[in-house]
Every structure is written in C-alpha cells, then in structure tokens.
Structure 1
Amino acid sequence: MTSGKVSETASATISPSPALVPRTKRAIVDLQTVGKTEIPPPLQLDPYFSPERLRDFEHARLFDGCSHVLAALDAIHPYLTKFFAENAWMSTFGAENTQITTLQSSTRLDSDGRGLAEEESDSEDSDDHVRGRSLSYPRVKSRWRLPEWLDPNETAEIVIYPGVRTQTFAPQKVINLEETGRPARRPSTESTGSARRPSYGWSRSAVSQEEEEEVEKKRLIVLPAALVLGGTFDLSEGSILIGKHARIEPNVFIKGPAIIGARSTLRSGTYIRGDVIVGRNVVLRGELKNSVIMDDAELCHPGYCGDSICGFKSHFGNQVTTANLSLFPGSNLTIDVNGITYDTGRRKAGVILGDGSQLGCSSVTDPCTLIQQHTVVYPLTRLRKGIYESSLLIKNKPMEKGVLEIAPMRPAKRD
C-alpha cells in the first residue's frame, strides 16, 4: 500500500499488499471480461457494503447487475437517466395522486414579483403563463418566490409537492442551457386536429407522443417539507430531485442529474457537478461528481469526492481529497488483487469507502483506492491505490520517511 517501510506491528499481523511487493512484468487482465463468478472477493460488493443495509437503500437497484464494486460507477448516469425518464420518484417517494404546483420562467408574477398560481389569474389564457398543472387537481391559492431563470427555450420547470411552504422556498437561480450541438426545443402546445393540451411530464396521458419526442423536460422536483433556502440549480444536463425534509442552504450549486435524499442537508458551499445520488440523512459541504453517498454518511466539510462510492455512516473529515485521475493521461487505472493486475477499464476512479469507514482531516487517497468496512484513516495520511481491509487503523508516521503504519483494531468490549 506504500512504497516505503511498514511498521513491525503491521508486518506481524498483515500480509503486505501487492503494492508492497517488488513489481515484475506481468500480464494485465481486463476486469470487464471477467465473469461474475470469477470476480475476486476483494472486488465484490459485500466487503464494502452490508447486504442488509444495501437492501434498505432507496436506490439499491443501481447495483443490480454490477459484478464488481467499480462497475457501480458506470451505472450511476444510466440509473439517473432512467429514474427521471420514468418519473420513478412518484412511486419511490409516494408522490402519486396528489396536488402539484408547477412554476416556469413564464409564470405570471404579482406586484411583489412572486409567482401567481393558476387560479389567481383572471386571464382566459392563463395556462400560457402557468403550465403543467393537471386540470383534475384542486386549486390552491399560493404565491411562490421565483428564482432568476436562465432558460432561453422555456423547457425547464419547478415541480412542487404539498408540504413545501412558500416561506421556506427561495431558490436563487435555475439554469437550463442548450446542449452543445443539440438545441432544445420548446414543447408544442397544439396538435393537428385536436384541442390544445398542456404538457404535464407526470401525467403521460396528457402528452402526445410527438411532444414527448420533441423535448425532454428538465425539472427541479421538490418533495414535501423540503427547505430550499437558496441555491443554484443547473438542469441543462438532467433533472434534480430534492427529497422530503431535505435542507438546501444558500450558496449551494447542484447540476443535474442528481438526487438528494430525504432529511439530507446540503450546507452552504456544496458544489454538486452532476451524476450524484445522495441517500437519506446525509450531510454534505464539499465538491462531488459521479458519486453515490449512502444513508447517514457525513461529508460535512470542504473537500473533494469524485467518481466514488461512500457507504452507510461513512465519514470525511475536513479537506479530504479523493484523487480520481492518473498522472499519466490516456491510460486506464489498474489494481492489483492477489498478485494479479486488473485493468479496471476506467480512466477515473476515486475511493470506494465501506460502511462505517472514516477518512481523517486532510487525508488524500490515490485514484482507485478501495477501503473496506469500519476502517479508520488518521488525518494527514496519503493512501496509495489498492485494497485496504476491514477494521484497520491507518496512519502516517511523519517523523520516519516513507512509513505508513497499519494495525488491526482491537475487538470492542461487550457488556
């Protein structure tokens, strides 16, 4: 795990990892071609995530078909794309058959600059200004604080479920810009030979097939009791879901596609760069991209988590950095397991952090670092790529050059 010395404690109890063995030229096995039954145990899911807790994870289907733990990184974007395309939040979060408020950049404003709900407009063509509400839903008076919109084609919308209070809904900005080389088109409001129909993304019978193929709706979906106290939401590349009782503080930036789980808190300064799934009761502050953060995890402080998976009740200290790209561009990351070198097929991979494991303040992990359950990494530690087993204490010995101390934890005393 390091090119330097290893303490006597570690060498007496733990066999050195392949990174400690002098390198000889060896064949490299393509991990993508290895059958599921032939995947070595250290690369399977179970050493990192408890099967029981994983079954309780609301997005456990993400891992379906993943023969090894790194395969889950490739599954994040397809999972999110399908989740929003199929409006999966409606069944997953019990949001069916309920009253919904929809706001768009063209929503009519009152004298205070707040959005008027449809029934408060006395114009006959009010659905040109407030679109997306099913006519079968009851009408409720409300005035919503609207964000600044950067949505030239008016194809983005905010979907608000009951239980979100106007007093605690204050997004700062919604962005929906055209993808390069693929201009967005505003959905048509008329179809030949039929009356004009509003385009509701969640009521598929109300949308013609032509309209669905013409434009993909980008949505900021806010579920009951969520607090949106500020934040910038970039829907240009995908929708964003804010879960029940979640808290979004001012100066948060979220780029879709992204899911923020129930009762999670995004502290001021959080920067989410897309393809991120956040579980329940999570606290975030740093920068994230293409990552899964499971329930009860804490990444409470500034730091970077890219192309990574953090298990249940895992923890990042302040300024933790997960390096995810090799210094040698163009080459795939490799990992040594039981004397065999595997080509991961990925140029980028950060950390796989098992359930209950912790990275101390200012620790740095090399690309493709896999840490199993309940392992604690002390502050200021640099971890070389490789696999670190469960229930270890890992720390640098700064007074001795190149020494990384690894020792097994003592079993907890039971009363």
Structure 2
Amino acid sequence: MNPYHPQEFFDLSNSPAASELFKDITYVWEGVAALPSFIERIIEPKILGEVEEGAWVEPGKVQMEPGSRVERGAVVRGPTIIGRNTVVRSKAYIRGHVMVGENCTIGHGVEIRQILVLNNSQIAHTNLVTTCLIGNRVLVAYLAGLLNYRLDGKPICVKINRGEEKQEFPTELIHLGACVGDDSKIGAMTILQPGTVVGQRCIIYPQISVSGYVPNDSIVKLKSQPVEVIPRNQSLK
C-alpha cells in the first residue's frame, strides 16, 4: 500500500473533478504540477454566481457555479473554477490555475495561485497560499504561511520521517507548497515549510514552524510554552 497516495489524504467521493485530477497520480504532491493543465482542460467559463459591483472577474476565463459570490474589491483571474456556495471575500486576489470546491471561504486579503481547495474549507483572511493542495473541511487560519520556495532556489524535496523510516522524494519543482489532508487545522501565524505534507485530522498549533511529514491524527505543538502568567497587582510591585 502507498501511504502517500491522494486517497490517503482526501475523500474524493463528492469531488468528481478532483478525482479525475488524481486518477493517474502516485504521490499526492504530484497533483500540484498537474493542476494547471487539468484546469485548462476542464474549465467551462460561465458566471452562474454573483459578482458584486466593484469586483473584477477576468472575462471568459472563470467558472462560477450557482450560489457562489465574489465580493466587492476582489480580483479573480483565470483560469479559475469556483464551486457552489463558495464566497471570495473583499480584496482577495485569485491569480489563476485555481480550483475551489463547494461551500468554501476565501477570506479577506487572501492571495492564491495554482491550488486545489476541496469542499467546506476555509482560508482565513490575510493569507498567501500558492502551489498547494487543501483537503475537505480544512481551516488555514489567519496569517499562516504555506511557503513554496527555498531561499537557495533549489528544487524541493519531500522528506518523510516516520519513526525509523526516512525517505526523500525529489520533485524537481522550484515551487511546491503544502499538501493538507481532510479535517486538518492550521493555526494562526504557523509556517509550513516548502514540501510539507500533513495527513488527515491533524491540528497544528499557532506560531510554530513545521516541515516534512505529519501523520494522520497528529497534534503538533511546542514542547514548552515560554510564557509566565502572574496577577496584575504583582506585576506593579
């Protein structure tokens, strides 16, 4: 069994398009490179949702399904697919090669490019998320950093550390963000380093840096909290 197959991270039963994307993919992170050409092939540009006055949606390059909404001040470039009842908040910037599922929220001030977001997920306000795969019912909280580029410019290698098992998977990709499995929560101001792979039902606490592989049902937090809490009257002495 391949523990890094897309089906080990995502329930695709209610996402037929995403299921097609992953049909011939061996490792989940390979979906990032496959996403642009896949979206270009399947997109059916149409506006069946609401575009508020003051929003801009690139003509002929965006597919908006019924119940979706792009709020005033948002910019949506194509090719982009926005699922049913998904909201793109004010001042969000969608840069293209994006596929967002149903009942999702792309928050205020969020910038996204070349990502897949499955159903019922939220990317909270003021986030930059590019070249990533986001599962169902995922929360990416405020100011989380899903990084996708090494400072030395070298191709990104996915590193897996499962107890005594250590593996490296070279990708030849200069830009590769995170893969986040279903029902996982990424805390505010947390950093996911390039090529991080997070399993299902994980909780990653705020304000920490994470890299490599996080197995299903994990909680990631600091070992100690260097904060002292004292009564207010004592602090005035």
Q: TM-score normalized by structure 1?
A: 0.50
- Structure 1 residue 41: Cα displacement: 2.8
Q: Deviations over 1:171-206 (max 9, x none)?
A: xxxxxxxxxxxxxxxxxxxxxxxxxxxxxxxxxxxx
Q: Is residue 58–residue 279 contact of structure 1 (8 Å, CA) maintained in 2? A: no
Matched, 1:233 2:91: no
Root-mean-square deviation (CA, aligned residues, Å) is 1.7
How far apart, CA to CA, are the structure 1 residues paired with 2:105 and 2:185?
Answer: 14
Q: Deviations over 1:235-277 (max 9, x none)?
A: 5xx7111111101100111110000101001110211111000
**TM-score, normalised via structure 2 length:** 0.87
Residue aligning to 2:37: 78
Q: Deviations over 1:146-184 (max 9, x none)?
A: xxxxxxxxxxxxxxxxxxxxxxxxxxxxxxxxxxxxxxx
| Pairing 1:97-136 to 2, within 5 Å after superposition | none
Give, in whole Å, the separation in 2 of the partners of 1:365 and 1:314: 15
Unaligned runs of 5+ in 2: 228-237
Aligned residues: 218
Counterpart residue type for residue 65 of structure 1: D
Larger radius of gyration: 1
Moved over 4 A (4+): none
From 134, 139, 147, the counterpart of 1:323: 147
Instruction: Give the deviation of 1:302 after TM superposition.
Output: 1.3
Q: Secondary structure at the match of 1:43?
A: coil
Within the candidate set 13, 26, 38, 1:55 is matched to 13
Matching residue within 82, 90, 93 for 1:268:
90
Q: Among residues 219, 223, 226, which one is paired with 1:393 in the alignment?
A: 219
Superposed displacement of residue 62, structure 1: 1.3
Of the candidates 185, 190, 208, which is equivalent to residue 381 of structure 1?
208
Distance in 2 between residues matched to 1:271 and 1:69, nearest whole Å: 26
CA distance in 2, matches of 1:271, 1:345: 27
CA distance in 2, matches of 1:349, 1:61: 21
Matched, 1:293 2:120: no
Cα deviation, 1:272-320, whole Å, max 9, x if unaligned, reads 1110000000011211110000000011311111100110000011111
Alignment counterpart, residue 305 of structure 1, candidates 129, 149, 155: 129
Greater RCO (CA < 8 Å, at least 6 residues apart): 1
Task: Check the 8 A contact 1:42/1:387 in 2, yes or no.
Answer: no
Letter in 2 for 1:45: P
| CA-CA distance at 1:228 after TM superposition | 1.1
Name 1:41's counterpart in structure 2: 2
**Distance (Å, rounded) in 2 between the aligned partners of 1:336 and 1:382:** 15
The 5 Å alignment of 1:102-181 reads none
Q: Percent identity?
A: 21
Structure with greater helix percent = 1
Consecutive unaligned residues of structure 1, counting only runs of 5 or more, are 1-39, 90-218, 401-415
CA distance in 1 between partners of 2:80 and 2:116 (Å): 10
| Alpha-carbon contact 1:354-1:372 (below 8 Å) kept | yes
